[in-house]
Amino acid sequence: MAEPSIIRLYISGMTCASCAREIEKKLKNRGISASVDFATGSALLTAPRGFNLQKAIDVVRGAGYTATPRRVYSQAVRLRNLLVSIALAVPVIVISMPMSIFVLLSIFPSILFWRFLVFVLATPVVIFSAWPFYRSCLRRLSRFGVTMDTLISLGVCVTYVWSVWVLFSSIGHPNDYDEQSLYFEASVSIVVFASVGRYLEAKVKAKQGLALESLVKLAPKTATLAGTLEKVLTENLRAGDRVVIYPGERVPADARIVEGGSDVDLSFLTGCSIPSRVSIGDTLASGAMNLTGNLTAEVVRVGSDTELSRLISLVQRAQKPKLVRVADRVSGVFVPVVLILSLVTLFAHWAVTDSLAGSLSAAVAVLVIACPCALGLATPMAILSGMLRGLQLGILIRSTSALESRLSVVVLDKTGTLTENRVSLSKLIPAPGQDVNDLLRLSASLEAGSEHPLARAVVMAAKDKGLVLESFSDFENHPGFGVTGKVAGRDILVGRLGWAGKTPNKMPDWMSGRDISHGTVIVWGGKVRGVFVFDSPLRATSPRGVALLSGMGLKVILATGDGGFAATNAAESCGIKTVVAGAKPADKLELVRSLQARKDRVAMVGDGINDAAALAAADVGIAMASGTDLAFDRSDIAVMSSDLIGVVDGIRLSRKTRRVVKQNLFWAFAYNTAGIPVASVGLLSPMIASLAMALSSLFVVGNSLRIRKFQPTTPL
């Protein structure tokens, strides 16, 4: 069965989280699986291959919104309308101030003139500038629904219609006129402050979207085929094609170098600005910048399978965390409750004060100040800011559930996590009477004919010691077992235990008492002359990374499939006190589950297939990007630098994002909880309420953007 495709639609016309919920519901009712995000103004569709995108676009349009496959960032029209409304609203507010009337009357001694001037200036703002709010309100009312724009529209219309009625009723009865019963300044201020908030929110969304889409632009449009030097479209490349990449060009697809060497910029993937040296056999990610030398590479992955495409897709497919879903649900029921509260305020205030004008003012203030804009917007904005900052640092937050976990334990795999993804010779144990350097020289001389990673490790160890290698003859490579050949007049075998008829099935007796059950041996004359023990070298940053994790209050456990000697050695080097050696995949999974059964919140860090089950079971799975695809796909966070310091920063960034989300939710709830009672007793005018509404949204948006200033751990 073909895997479903992931399609993103950009939606305009959404004004709150309720709009997003409505579109999501409409799409799902038509059998289209969708996740609609108000913060990014987009919908993520999961559809079968060959899905007709126009069907989804028609559903969105049928709900009263517009949808396009590409985002349009132009804010020119919105800005022009905003500036016009501000130009008209400022005189209205100034003229309506009680202290202004004496100055105005000295200029033109007719109070009726100034009243009608306010009316004339306010009318275009109320009718035209507020139209986007009315349109959204009417769209939802036609389907018996309400949104935040319902509150804004009611507030504007009630204050405007009341003021018009009072104004025209006062004609011919100037002595009966109550100056405070005109609320034109309230109606225009509600429109202006709400519009300013919407404009700034749209600017922030556009900036966030551009940051993500800048990744898309990393992939070049064309590639140069090797041999013919023909320019072809990148989308026409196929696995197996060979391409030439010149200095200053970006890699068109994931490709393995077959000729040449160079320095490349992988900062978009690893977060490290230092160029990486690459040569024959290394794999380059699509979008990497070639800096110094000509490269010929064989394409291994194209299109949506490339590392860059997966990176973009994983960010786009991140699901809403529980905190955002709670905010969405609250926003959905909050508006009807506010409408009821506003009506209660109107009639209660009227009954107590016997002033219809004052009662309307209090009711409108409740409508406006209760708009849960901050609640519906700023929480997903914080999450998006965290994910984008992570991308800049080479930390990919793939699942936003990682933002919700309060971790207490970190379980680390050894190979590829604490250690590098290459093999080195840890030690060579000689048989009694044998010289270590002689054994290393002879074995390296023979292994020089092999390309096996263990053979290269032996040769490298000999070169590091300055040993001079000898020539070999009669060389034979036996895949899966070892090599044989003649060196210095000896028929030598270097291979694994259990090589039928050539090596013993177990370690020789002189190895008893050592915690080594398997290894590579060197044999001649029918006797085992030495045992090689291989290991991966410890990353230079691993001890500091472990210390930082412990300093964050996390218990660190090493769980590795390696034997006791290698596991204990790595743990002691890094300062890890708890070690689980010889752990198979099922053992790692059981370790995670047992910790969770003790109410611990567990992060699992690994990079291999044997870590995949534990990564999936952990509260937060963290994968090193240098590992296998299966481990990567089972993780919640991927560290592109494959460095334990990156793990530390990933957890720190998640904690900071979670703190900001909680701060935003607290502010949004506190603002509404405190503002509604104050407005309901008439202590807030509609103008002040609208200003407070706009400032509330801007506060939480600004608080969310603080995440973009998150600083990674400073290297030593």
Q: How far is CA 126 from CA 88, 156, 194, 363, 366, in A?
A: 10, 7, 12, 19, 19
Q: Which amino acid is at 683?
A: L
Which stretch of DSSP H or E encloses residue 210?
A: helix 184-216
Report the distance separating Cα 578 and Cα 581, nearest Å: 10
Which stretch of DSSP H or E encloses residue 495?
A: strand 490-496
Buried b (16+ CB within 10 A) or exposed e, 151-161: bbbbbbbbbbe
Residue pointed to by tokens 């201020």: 189
Buried b (16+ CB within 10 A) or exposed e, 647-686: bbbbbbbbebbbebbebbbebbeebbeebbebbbebebbb
Is 413 one of the catalytic residues?
yes
Residues comprising the chain, all counted: 716
Complete DSSP assignment for 91-109: HHHHHHSGGGHHHHHHHS-
Q: Which amino acid is at 205?
A: K
Report the distance separating Cα 137 and Cα 148, nearest Å: 8
Sequence-ordered strand ranges (E) for 497-575? 520-524, 527-535, 555-559
Q: Which amino acid is at 353?
A: T
Helix (H, G, I), strand (E, B) or coil at 43: strand
Sheet arrangement for strand 295-301: 231-233, 222-225, 242-245, 295-301, 254-259, 283-284
DSSP letter (8 states) at residue 260: -
Q: How far is CA 567 from CA 390, 409, 416, in A?
A: 31, 19, 13
Which stretch of DSSP H or E encloses residue 35?
A: strand 33-37
Greatest alpha-carbon pair distance for the chain in Å reads: 126
What's phi and psi for 230, nearest 5 deg? -80, 140
Report the distance separating Cα 535 and Cα 532, nearest Å: 10
Q: How far is CA 372 from CA 16, 33, 38, 364, in A?
A: 8, 27, 13, 15
Report the distance separating Cα 99 and Cα 625, nearest Å: 66
Catalytic member of 149, 413, 562, 636 = 413
Report the distance separating Cα 614 and Cα 369, nearest Å: 48
Report the distance separating Cα 534 and Cα 242, nearest Å: 35
Angle at 324 between CA 321 and CA 329, to 5 degrees: 125
Report the distance separating Cα 614 and Cα 607, nearest Å: 11
Report the distance separating Cα 209 and Cα 203, nearest Å: 10
| Sign of the alpha-carbon torsion through 579, 580, 585, 586 | negative
Complete DSSP assignment for 414-429: IIIIIB-SS-EEEEEE
Report the distance separating Cα 680 and Cα 481, nearest Å: 84
Q: Which amino acid is at 39?
A: A
Q: Annotated catalytic sites, by residue? A: 413
